[in-house]
Structure 1
Amino acid sequence: MAYQTKLALLYVAIGASLWGIIGFFVKELSLAGFTSLQIVFLRAISAFLLFLLWIVIKDPALLKISLKDTWYFLGTGILSVSFFNWCYFTTIQTSSLAIAAILLYTAPAFVLVISSIVFKEKLTHQKLLALIATFIGCTLVSGLFSSKLELSITSLLIGLGAGFGYSLYSIFGKLASRKYETLTISIYTFFFAMLALFPISGITSANTLVFNSSVLLNIVGLGLFPTVFAYWFYTQGLKQMDASKAAIISTIEPVVATLMGLILYKEAVSFVQIIGILFVLGAVLMIQERNEKDIQTSIVQNRH
C-alpha cells in the first residue's frame, strides 16, 4: 500500500511537471503566428489523435462508454480544459501573466472545498497548511509582489474562473476514474474540448498561418508531452489518492515552468521566487509525509 501511494504521488508530480514545460511549445507556436486560442485548439486536436492512436494499438474496447456517463467528459473537456484555458488567456490579455498565474492556482482551494462535499474528503489541518504554503509559494513564484499591477473586477472574476475551471478536472476526473480507464477519460476529455474550441478558434479563417515541418513538430510535441503524457500520469495518480492532495501536488507546475525559463531562456529568478519554489516543494513533501503517517496508523489499527 505504501508503495502504491508513493507511486501515485510520483505520477501526479510527473504529470504536473510535464504541464510545466508547455511554455516551450506555446512560445514556439506563438512566434509562428498562432493566437492563444488557436494553440489551445491545436493542443486538443493533437492530443485527441495521439490518444486515439494509442488506444487503437493497445485496446480499441477502451473507446466504449455509456451515453449516460457523457457528462463526466463534458465536465473534463468543456467545463475544465476549454473553460479554464479561455479564462486563463483572457486574464493574461486583460491584466498580466503574473496575476493570471496566481489566480489560476487558486484551483487547490476550490478542489478542497468541492472534494469535501462530493467525495466527503476530510479538511485536515495538514491539507489546509499545505494549501496555504502552495498559495504563498505560487504568489512568490509569479513575481506578483515585484509588479505594480492593477486588477479590474472583471479580470479578477475571470481569473478566478480559470482557477475554478482548472479545479474541475480533478473533480470530474476522479468521478470518471471510478468507472473508466485513464486512456478512456483522456481521449474523451480532448474530444469534447476539440469540439468546443473548433468554432471559436478561428483556425480555418487564418490564411497567414504556415504549417511547416517546425510547426508540425511543435504541435506534435505540444500534444504529446505536456498533454497526452501529462494527463495520463496525472489521471493515473488521481485514481489512487484524494483529489485535494493531487491538486496541491500539481502546483509544482509553476516551479517547473520557472526553472525551464531559467535554464532554456536565461530568464532571471529572484531570491523571492526561489523562496516561493521552496514553499511549493515543502507543501508537496508535507502531503507525502501525511500519506505515510496515515498508512502507518491504518496498519497499526488493523493489527488491533
Structure 2
Amino acid sequence: MSDRLGTALVIVSAVGFGTLGILGKLASGAGLSIPTVLFFRFVLATALVWAGLAVRGRLRRFSGRTLLVGLGLGALGYAAMSGLYFWGLSFLTAGLVGILLYTYPVIVVVLSALFLDERITRRTGVALVLALAGVALITGGDPAGADPRGIVVVLAAAVVYASYITASRVALDAVPADLLTAHVLPAAACAYLVYGSATGTLSVPDSGSQWLIVAAIAVLATALPIFTFFAGLGRIGASRASIVSTIEPVVTLLLGAAILAEPVTPVTVLGGASVLAGVLLVQAE
C-alpha cells in the first residue's frame, strides 16, 4: 500500500511539474514578463513550502556557510535555469522544451565523472548516446518546429540545472533536500526582484486572469509537486522516484498538444523516447 501511495504521489508531482511549460506559454500570451512570472512564482511558492514545513515540524533556517551556499544555489543556479527555461518557451513548443530539459540527468552523470571522479559505466555511455541521439532527432528531423536559438537556450538550462544538482551534492550533501528547496526558492525570488527592477521588466499582475496564471504556476507547477515528490520519495526511495518522474516531459508533450494544439510529429515522439530511454538507463544504474 505504501509503495502504491508513494508511486501515486510521485506521479502527481511529475504531472504538476509537467504543467509548467503550458502555464508558461499561457503567461506569455497574457502579457506577463519572465521576471514578473518567476518573482511571484517563487514568492508564493516560498510561503507555501515554509508553511508546509512548519506544519510538519520540519521548519529550520540555515545559518553560516550552509545559508550562504543555499542562497547562492538559488540566486544563481535555480534562478538562471528557470529563466532559461521560460526564455526557451518563446522559441519552442512546451513539449520540445520539456524533452530537451530532461537531458539533465545524463548531464549530471557526465559532470559527476568530470568533477567528482565518478566512473562512467558502459550503461552510462549507452544512456549518453541515446540522449544525444534523441536531441539530434528532435532538432534535425523537424527544423520548422525546432528553432536553433531555443535549442541552445534550453540545453543551456539543462546544463545549468545539472550543474546546480552537482554543486548541491558537493556543497550540501548532508542537508535534507526539502530544506534546501525552502532556501533556494526565496533566493531565486530575490534574484528576479533585483533583475526585474534593474531592467524595468518587473510588474504586478493587473488582471484576474494574470493572477490566476501566476497562482497556478506557484501552486500547481511548483509547491504541490515539491510536496508530493518528497512525500513519495520517503515511501519508495530516490531511485524509483526518479524513474517514475520521467513521465514529466511526456505530460508536457501531451498537454501541449491537448491545450495549446502543439504539433506532435513521429520524429518528436521517437526523439523523446530516445531521451527518456537514456534517462531511465541512468536512473536504473
Structure 1 residue 37 corresponds to structure 2 residue 35? yes
Residue number in structure 2 paired with 1:114:
111
Aligned mate of 2:75, from 70, 78, 94: 78
Which one of 166, 173, 181 corresponds to residue 171 of structure 1?
A: 166
Find the residue that maps to 1:223 and give its secondary structure: helix
Structure 1 residues 187-196 or 273-282, which shifts more?
273-282
Q: Tell whether the 8 Å contact from 1:251 to 1:280 is kept in structure 2 after alignment.
A: no
**1:105-148 alpha-carbon deviations (Å, 9 max, x no partner):** 553453123222555432111122122223333454x5553215
Go from structure 1 to structure 2 and tell me whether the alpha carbon gap of 1:158 and 1:265 turns closer, same or farther (over 3 Å shift).
closer
Partner of 1:187: 182
Q: Is it true that 1:136 corresponds to 2:138 in the alignment?
A: no
Is residue 268 from structure 1 mapped to residue 266 from structure 2 by the alignment?
A: no
Deviation at 1:185, TM superposition (A): 1.2
8 A Cα contact 2:100 2:135, kept in partner: no
- The code of the aligned residue for 1:180 comes to V
**Letter paired with 2:179:** T
Counterpart for residue 65 of structure 1: 62
Aligned equivalents of 1:72 and 1:7: distance in 2?
A: 34
Aligned equivalent of 1:278: 273
* Alpha-carbon distance, 1:208 to partner: 8.1
Q: What is the rounded CA distance, in whole Å, between the counterparts of 2:251 and 2:129 in structure 1?
A: 19
User: Which residue matches 1:28?
Assistant: 26
**Normalized against structure 2, the TM-score is what?**
0.75
Q: 1:275 to 1:31 in 2, by over 3 A?
A: same
Tell me the distance in 1 between the aligned counterparts of 2:122 and 2:8: 23
Q: Distance in 2 between matches of 1:79 and 1:35?
A: 19
The answer to whether the 8 A contact 2:205-2:211 is kept is no
Pairs aligned (count) = 277
SS at the partner of 1:162?
helix
Q: What amino acid sits opposite 1:31 in the alignment?
A: G
Task: Output the amino acid matched with 2:141.
Answer: F
Report the Cα distance in structure 2 between the residues aligned to 1:150 and 1:263, rounded to whole angstroms: 22
How many Å apart are 1:195 and its aligned residue? 0.9
Q: Indicate how the Cα distance of structure 1 residues 249 and 80 shifts in structure 2: closer, same or farther if over 3 A, else same.
A: farther
CA distance in 1, matches of 2:171, 2:59: 13
Gaps in structure 2 of 5+ consecutive residues: none
Give the secondary-structure state (helix, strand or coil) at the position aligned to 1:193.
helix
**How far does residue 259 in structure 1 lie from its aligned partner after superposition?**
1.2
Q: 2:194 aligns with which of 193, 196, 199?
A: 199
**1:275-294 deviation digits (Å, cap 9, x = unpaired):** 12332343354346x44xxx
Q: TM-score, normalised by structure 1?
A: 0.71
Return the offset for 1:24. Answer: 2.6
1:147 aligns with 2:163: no
- The offset of 1:72, in angstroms, is 3.4
Shift, 1:49, TM fit: 1.2
Find the residue that maps to 1:127 and give its secondary structure.
helix
2:177 partner amino acid: T
Deviation at 1:192, TM superposition (A): 0.6
Consecutive unaligned residues in structure 1, runs of 5 or more: 292-304
**Matched residue type, 1:24:** I
Task: Give the alignment's Cα RMSD to 1 decimal.
Answer: 4.0
What are the superposed Cα offsets for residues 173-219 of structure 1, whole Å, 9 maximum, x if unpaired? 4356643333311110101101111122249876784142x433332
User: Which AA in structure 1 matches 2:32?
Assistant: F
Q: CA deviation at 1:22?
A: 0.5
Contact 1:186/1:232 (CA < 8 Å) preserved in 2? Answer: no
Helix, strand or coil at the partner of 1:63: coil
Distance 1:157-1:23 versus aligned 2 partners, 3 A rule: closer
SS state of the match for residue 51, structure 2? Answer: helix
